[in-house]
Chains A and B, each alone.
Chain A
């Protein structure tokens, strides 16, 4: 699904400082509804901090975040989830002592969902459908701690799709450390959910081939600032980006 031209998420002069370190520096971003936006940048450039700020795990030092024009940066993470913002983590965070199916049920049963799901059976059906979608249905009754790293990544991605309504999916390095087969499942999941359900994705990744295949627009972050924005081919020729990656 191409972006609709409607601004869904905006950050305005967003800044995050940790003591003397400025991780995000006066960053203003605008994400359109239905877009798959890539966020790239060298290690330590502030990509994960940006994810943490949008999802609410960090509080901004200054600046604002808007969803549909409404300010959300004062809201707690679970309230942001209820507004349709969900995320994955670079190192998959699954509920290790719960089964794969139980992992899927947590977001649907959470406070954020209220009565959006009418019955428990509807939740289980939806969870099983999604597990089939990410090819984990044969493991639904196994404990999550028995899964491989790649399967954990698939599980945390599928788990996020349980949230209703899902507006923006923040993915932090979804392709890191996963085998090509799982990478392809993740790619297809993102594309299909974007195409069929109009979900907006913000994908942080170092995997340039995957970013090229998924994203029309990428934002390059360096030292907490946006140094370029556009297609991957376009930003690859921006001198500041070349400097950031190879040192200048």
Chain B
């Protein structure tokens, strides 16, 4: 994959716009943004498999934890550099994604969801029980990526992680692989009959989305400094689904908008505790009923109407 000068300029422009933001924010809000960027990568990579390919995997959060634990354990026990541990965490998550994808090749809809959920639960229980290695529910202290604990410095790490990951995903979606993914989602039998190697590309999407989840999870672990089986709780997966559906499943911008929106809203509603999940669930139900394309779809529907109304009232370009 080559990067054209134009793309490089756009990416640099995005970075330049987002880079000064922490200068105006306090440490706590910068931390919230860092977590938002983590969720942007998680939501966008889940959208690759669920939104673009129609494979409703419920194990994405487990792959993030797998990447985090792999990197942390390698760094702790083998003393390898963190910057080597992170890609290794991603690779292991990708490899396991390959096997899970192969096992689930013929499963669809509910069955795929159940199988992947069962895998995630098994992994969570294994983490809890493997006390000697993972320290179980007490959590594993992980070395941090930077010497400083300041969220300000990590902001640039997570910003770069999000920009690079999203760019790669964007290129995949726009390439011929994107066509394969969408054709598999819309009708797998027809895609096969049109010459698409559906087995190969379903595996590929499982691998690539798990890889991104693993990488994001590894960065997260080396930022927070603690990993625990709680990160494989189904609530984590539910949050990812809520983010993608709120932003717009099957759209590129949807998971980005949804992840930032839900993470910020989650912080605003923090004082209400678990009731947040009820509110989010209600929001998803309403969105599914009113506007299945989420915020992006809402924008697509509403913006032209606003534009038309403005033009009718003599405002805006004629």
* Residues of chain B in range 188-234 having any CB-CB distance to chain A below 8 Å: 189-198, 200
Q: Is A48 part of the contact surface with B, judged by Cβ < 8 Å?
A: no
Q: How many A-B residue pairs have CB under 8 A?
A: 81
A50 CB to closest chain B CB (Å) equals 15
User: In the complex, what residues of A have CB within 8 A of residue B185's CB?
Assistant: 97
Say yes or no for B183: interface residue by CB 8 A criterion.
yes
Assembled-state Cα–Cα distance A111/B179 (Å): 11
Least Cβ–Cβ distance between B82 and chain A, in angstroms: 38
> Which residue in chain B gives the minimum CB-CB distance to A96?
B186
Say which residue of A76, A96, A97, A107 sits within 8 Å of B194 (CB atoms).
Answer: A107
- Chain A residues with Cβ under 8 A from B132's Cβ? none
Q: Is A55 an interface residue (CB 8 A)?
A: yes
Of the residues B186, B194, B200, contact of A81 by C-beta under 8 Å: B194
Instruction: Report yes or no: B200 in contact with A93, Cβ–Cβ below 8 A.
Output: no
Main secondary structure of the interface of B (DSSP, over half): helix
A163 within 8 A of B: yes
B155: Cβ under 8 A from any A Cβ: no
Nearest A residue to B250 by beta-carbon distance?
Answer: A97
A236 at the interface (CB under 8 A from B): no
Q: Does A151 contact B (CB under 8 A)?
A: no
Does A89 count as interface, using CB distance less than 8 angstroms? yes
Cβ contact within 8 Å between B179 and A102: yes
Verify B183–A78 contact, CB threshold 8 A: no
| CB pair B193 A111 closer than 8 Å | no
- Whether the Cβ atoms of A55 and B193 lie closer than 8 Å is yes
Q: In the complex, A71 Cα to B196 Cα: how many Å?
A: 21
State in angstroms the CA–CA spacing of A1 and B59 once bound together.
55
A107→B187 contact, CB < 8 A: no
Size range of the interface on A? Answer: 20 to 34
Q: Is the CB of B182 within 8 A of A77?
A: no
Q: How far is the CA of A76 from the CA of B193 in the complex (A)?
A: 10
* Pairwise interchain contact A106-B183, C-beta atoms closer than 8 A: yes
- Judged by a CB distance under 8 angstroms, whether B176 is at the interface is yes
Residues on A with C-beta less than 8 A from B196 are 78, 106, 110-112
Known contacts A95-B182, A98-B183: does B193 contact A106 (CB below 8 Å)?
A: no
A235 within 8 A of B: no
Q: Which residues of A (69-84) have their CB < 8 Å from a CB of B?
A: 76-78, 81-82
Residues of A contacting B192 with CB < 8 Å?
Answer: 57, 76-78
Question: Which residues of B sit under 8 angstroms from A27, Cβ to Cβ?
Answer: none
A95 touches B195 (CB 8 A): no
Interface residues of B (CB under 8 A from A): 176, 179-180, 182-183, 185-187, 189-198, 200, 250
Q: Which A positions have Cβ atoms within 8 angstroms of B?
A: 55, 57, 76-78, 81-82, 86-87, 89, 93-98, 102, 105-107, 109-113, 156, 159-160, 163
Can you pick out 7 interface pairs between chain A and chain B where the beta carbons lie within 8 Å of each other?
A89-B189, A94-B187, A96-B187, A109-B180, A110-B176, A111-B196, A111-B197
